[in-house]
Amino acid sequence: MTPPFARRRARAAAPDPVPAVVSLGLGVPRLTAGLRPRRAQERLDHGAHLTAHGPLPDPGELGLRDLLALTERIALRERGPAGFPFHHKLRAVMASARRGGLTAAVVVDAVEDDPSCRKDEVLLRRAPHLVLDGALLTAEALGAQQVVIAVSHPAAAAAIKAAVAERQPRRRARGPEIRMARSQERFIDGVGDASAGGLEAVPTLLSNTETWAQLAVAARMGAARFGALGERDEPGTFLATVTAHTPGGKGPAQTVVEAPLGTPLATLLERCGTDAGQAVLLGGHDGAFLPRRAADTALMSRRGIEAAGAVFGAGSVTRVPEETCPLGEVARAAHWLAAERVSHCVPCFRGLSALATALDDVVHDGGAPVRERLREQVAAVQGRRACAHPDGSARFVLSALSTFSDDLAAHALGSGCGRRVWGALPLPRGPQAARTAERFTMDWTLCDGHALCADVVPELIRMEQDGYPVLSATAVPPRLAARARLAVRRCPTLALRVERI
């Protein structure tokens, strides 16, 4: 019989279920063609892929100039957070390769570092040949000798490996080499470490998974048919990851939806069986919240979401249910953002931890000084130009403070909102999920204010003007567990302890 602790560990380490796939197109599905909604684990093999999408144009029929003209005509943008025009990147790589007399390389960025976005994982696991089509078509037009697929998810890597093996007998002998580079999922690392090996000083055309799949669809359809859906300046479809948490359920349920650009956000949510709740987080954990009233009228395109006051990002949509404490959700996510910091970036290393602790103090302690300290911490990390991570985190927190202003007042000036934190904002799962939460407690009859604890773990303990420490009311994050135990051991009067929550 398996021991209980082993079963808990296995549940914590188990991968998240594959999101369901839904098409919301006005015509036949494009990226999701051939994917059966009730077969979440099913992968289209090469034969099924050709049945669903048809053959790809021969490289001789779609040369480099034709490819450049096509991507410019359909205004293809990166389907990642930046939304950069693809034809600008293609033109820049062409020019760089010619100037240096070098051979270019193509990289598929399949590293999804935000748990609120699962679309690239779904594409790789279920339709890997569509992604390979776009990358190989471009590589052959550029004369590239390498196609590197940077991937972090084990199941996605296995699907790509199987797809490459299926193509091997049919590929031209002198075609580009396809290889995989495994990368660790981290919010700020992205694809850098995975793609760097062997590509130093090589002109590299890098785009995320959906972008290559969209290119494969456009190459088959042509510009006119591709632009029949979507908006005039943003034609085509897009993939959105919709996350909706049901309190009391097993966790956030995620659905990947294909829809024309310009689709009302309310329609997208309705198709997934939900609504806007208290608010909707758009663009992931460095994005922004839209209150329900704004979400009901927003259109899902870069221009439409920016006009509504949020960030389109990579197309992630996360519902904040009425039953959860929104500021508690934001504080929980802020600790994860702080754990993803860059060690040599001061706003990351010190500022984000202090910001997360200040959020905890607002949620659990309240008081006008605590609210003011939170705004000071946001200002301390915002606009420092050290790296983009603190700016995105500050935007996320500021948007929450504005959207949930009534809750902020209830926590800072009253007794709180009275709701528990359900975990509506998705965070990475891992072995730490099985650990029992702990927090600091103090025997004030023993504390003499030596301040050794605040020196060891300043993210959770700070000294006040009266010379005594103030303890964060939040649980000790796993990344600070070792230092928390060290702080307890360093206390000369044995006043500091950690207790289970």
Q: Which of 497, 359, 498 is nearest to 436 (CA)?
A: 498
User: Mean of the pLDDT values across residues 25-52?
Assistant: 84
Q: How many Å apart are CA 323 and CA 278, to the nearest integer?
A: 9
Confidence of residue 489 (pLDDT cuts 50, 70, 90): very high
State residue 190's pLDDT score: 45
What is the DSSP code string of 244-311?
E--TTSSS-EEEEEEEETTEEHHHHHHHTT---BSEEEESGGGSEEEEHHHHTT-EESHHHHHHHTS-
Q: Do residues 279 and 289 touch, judged by C-beta distance below 8 A?
A: yes
Residue 475 has pLDDT above 80, yes or no: no
State residue 6's pLDDT score: 38
Q: Helices marked H in 101-208 — which ranges?
A: 119-126, 128-142, 154-167, 192-196
Q: Do residues 31 and 265 touch, judged by C-beta distance below 8 A?
A: no
More confident residue, 16 or 421: 421
More confident residue, 127 or 482: 127
State residue 228's pLDDT score: 93
Helix (H) or strand (E) holding 403: helix 388-403
Give the tokens for residue 460: 């959770």
User: Mean of the pLDDT values across residues 232-243?
Assistant: 94
- Return the bridge partners of 241, or none: 256, 316
Which of these ranges, 8-17, 145-154, 331-340, has the smallest mean pLDDT? 8-17
Packed helices 209-226 and 64-73: angle between N→C axes, nearest 10 degrees:
80
Q: Reduced to 3 states, what is the DSSP secondary structure of residue 117?
A: coil
Q: What is the pLDDT of residues 142-153, one digit of tens each?
A: 999 999 999 988
Alpha-carbon torsion (458, 459, 465, 468), positive or negative: negative
Q: Do residues 320 and 283 touch, judged by C-beta distance below 8 A?
A: no
User: Mean of the pLDDT values across residues 96-110?
Assistant: 92
Residue 307 has pLDDT above 70, yes or no: yes
User: Mean of the pLDDT values across residues 409-428?
Assistant: 86
Confidence of residue 472 (pLDDT cuts 50, 70, 90): confident
Percent with pLDDT over 90 in the chain: 53
Q: Which of 350, 346, 339 is nearest to 478 (CA)?
A: 339
Confidence of residue 317 (pLDDT cuts 50, 70, 90): very high
Give the tokens for residue 160: 């790509």
Give the tokens for residue 260: 């024309």
Q: How many Å apart are CA 287 and CA 178, to the nearest integer?
A: 34
State residue 172's pLDDT score: 55
State residue 289's pLDDT score: 97
pTM of the predicted protein model: 0.83
Q: How many Å apart are CA 230 and CA 233, to the nearest integer?
A: 8
Backbone angles phi, psi at 425, to 5 degrees: -85, 115
Residue 192 has pLDDT above 50, yes or no: no
Q: How many Å apart are CA 170 and CA 27, to the nearest integer?
A: 32
Residue 343 has pLDDT above 80, yes or no: no
Residue 193 has pLDDT above 70, yes or no: no
State residue 8's pLDDT score: 36
State residue 108's pLDDT score: 94
Length of the chain: 501
More confident residue, 9 or 311: 311
Q: Which of 138, 117, 129 is nearest to 47 (CA)?
A: 129
**What is the b/e burial string over 76-110, where b = at least 16 CB atoms within 10 angstroms of the residue's CB?**
bbbbbbeeeebbebbeebbeebeeeeeebbbbbbb
Burial class, 37, CB count within 10 angstroms (exposed 0-12 / middle 13-18 / buried 19+): exposed
Q: What is the pLDDT of residues 259-281, one digit of tens each?
A: 999 999 999 999 888 999 999 99
CA-to-CA separations, 11 to 5, 243, 433, in angstroms, rounded: 10, 21, 9
Q: How many Å apart are CA 223 and CA 306, to the nearest integer?
A: 26
Q: Do residues 493 and 446 touch, judged by C-beta distance below 8 A?
A: yes
User: Mean of the pLDDT values across residues 189-197?
Assistant: 44
Instruction: Specify the DSSP class assigned to residue 233.
Output: S
The helix, strand and coil proportions of the chain, stated in percent and rounded to the nearest 5, come to 45, 15, 40
What integer best gives the mean pLDDT of the chain? 84
